[in-house]
Structure 1
């Protein structure tokens, strides 16, 4: 491997992305850096300027100018941080979320167009090659460290619904000693979705890292009028600490709000402390709890609710 090898690859790939019209279409009317800031805000609902500077390695003055422009254009709002009153929390407005969604849609379409030119038999080899490049060039003394920006949220592909059942059963058995009753419950939930769901009102997200699924969540219609239900939030142990749970819950909240649901509800158990903290960060409120015996364990079930029109999330 020589310097010329890498430069030759850079020229090749620059031509590839140029053919997709990235510079004139994909990010317009924003620069690449501005689009990257919008992406980070869309996937990190509780962040501030210091977080952004650290995550993106941006000059403080440059980032300040970007945020001032976003605020003037009605894309963001700033308020005192809940974690540190000396800091200003930055959140996307409804217009900001719409803009970030449009940019993400363009990116998906462009990369999808590129991937469509690759024969299906070659795609695993391409995925592995991309993973190798990213891993090798990201190594430091501790090896490759995945970042939250490496995580991709996508729709389920063939086999992914089965993966949801398998991983839920395996993880809850390992971490909470749940028996096969839980696997049966998850299998029924997933089967109901697969057999009969409205794609305009219900959706599943798979979190992918390095070409492998590492998390999931579902949004389905609830029995209560105007309400959606969040179900089966899961993050693989090896991928925890990358805000994947926050990204998945954010996706559900934005989707549910965007299609017109009034409330978002969920049921969980009090032993799932990490998940509860995620729900609380996103504005969910505990409305009821009740002891029960399920999955071979004595548990306390909890009902949580988020008012999608009253929440500033």
Structure 2
């Protein structure tokens, strides 16, 4: 990345930060007049979730300086908004919880905040609301470096998601490996064939969803009466190594067996290590390789097979 490109991206993030900080501040200013700052409301909200926490956990979750948080909690204690008691597991730590007075003080602020945000959302169409929420979740997912262990569910694709898979994978492989638009054409043909001739008994596509976001996919399509092909196997790069790929492949293998196929195949390139790892783990055998010119690159194409 050039220095000018890095600067452009940094400026874009700063621009968004200014916009969002101003927007959140404006929302808070429109809430009923109270004695609490925006940061105090954030602490009250965290404590209102029903479980006692230590100051260190609060500070880590909210990104607050320990000294500042300590002064804030002392103020809360003086106002009888919180209680502190020694931790059962660490005598050096105190567990902090809201008092009845603390809950009573926070409740109207919470209600007003929900009403204010709802008013903002009501100014958008349903589709725009979903787009906004998805963008927010994506920002959170990409910037939160902690491993995400939220439940992953597998479900059929919804309207527009197959097209999004073509867009996303074509975009990523172009950026990561320099593959050209012919790869996007291949993906589009897979999606078009599946969508137009879909036989739910013999063919199936799954979307991996985590916290309301698409994080992976796989399709099983009929190649012949006895052979099925695994297509569109994909896991978002930032959530790999969490078992999502294994979950998708296992579901695909189970479906192919139930559908009565005797063989399942998967074609990939030798440069793609993640599909290879998943194939080996699932018991696939490397059936053959060939040097081919594909997607604007000289590739070694691998064909993997699993006897069902």
1:222-261 to 2 correspondences below 5 Å: 222-223=223-224, 225-261=225-261
1:176-187 to 2 correspondences below 5 Å: 176-187=177-188
Higher relative contact order (CA 8 A, sep 6+): 1
Matched with 1:200 is: 201
Q: Is the partner of 1:200 in helix, strand or coil? A: coil
1:111-126 to 2 correspondences below 5 Å: none
* CA distances 1:84-142 after superposition (whole Å, capped 9, x unpaired): xxxxxxxxxxxxxxxxxxxxxxxxxxxxxxxxxxxx959x68x969x99xx9xxxxxx7
| Equivalent-residue separation in structure 2 for 1:164 and 1:219 (angstroms) | 15
Report the alpha carbon displacement of residue 262 of structure 1 after superposing the two structures with TM. Answer: 1.2
Matched with 1:150 is: 151
**4+ residue runs over 6 A deviation:** none
Matched with 2:21 is: none
TM normalised by structure 1 equals 0.54
| Equivalent-residue separation in structure 1 for 2:233 and 2:245 (angstroms) | 7
Gaps of 5+ in 2: 1-43, 51-124
Alignment coverage as a number of residue pairs: 186
Matched with 1:283 is: 283
| Equivalent-residue separation in structure 2 for 1:160 and 1:234 (angstroms) | 13
* CA distances 1:35-57 after superposition (whole Å, capped 9, x unpaired): xxxxxxxxxxxxxxxxxxxxxxx
Matched with 1:293 is: 293
Matched with 1:112 is: none
Larger-Rg structure: 2
| Equivalent-residue separation in structure 2 for 1:2 and 1:270 (angstroms) | 50
1:94-109 to 2 correspondences below 5 Å: none
| Equivalent-residue separation in structure 2 for 1:259 and 1:145 (angstroms) | 35
Matched with 1:37 is: none
| Equivalent-residue separation in structure 1 for 2:274 and 2:302 (angstroms) | 14
RMSD, aligned α-carbons: 3.0
Report the alpha carbon displacement of residue 165 of structure 1 after superposing the two structures with TM. Answer: 0.5
TM normalised by structure 2 equals 0.54
CA gap 1:170/1:201 in 2 versus in 1, 3 angstroms:
same
| Equivalent-residue separation in structure 1 for 2:159 and 2:195 (angstroms) | 11
Q: Is the partner of 1:183 in helix, strand or coil? A: helix
Q: Is the partner of 1:255 in helix, strand or coil? A: helix
| Equivalent-residue separation in structure 1 for 2:145 and 2:273 (angstroms) | 30
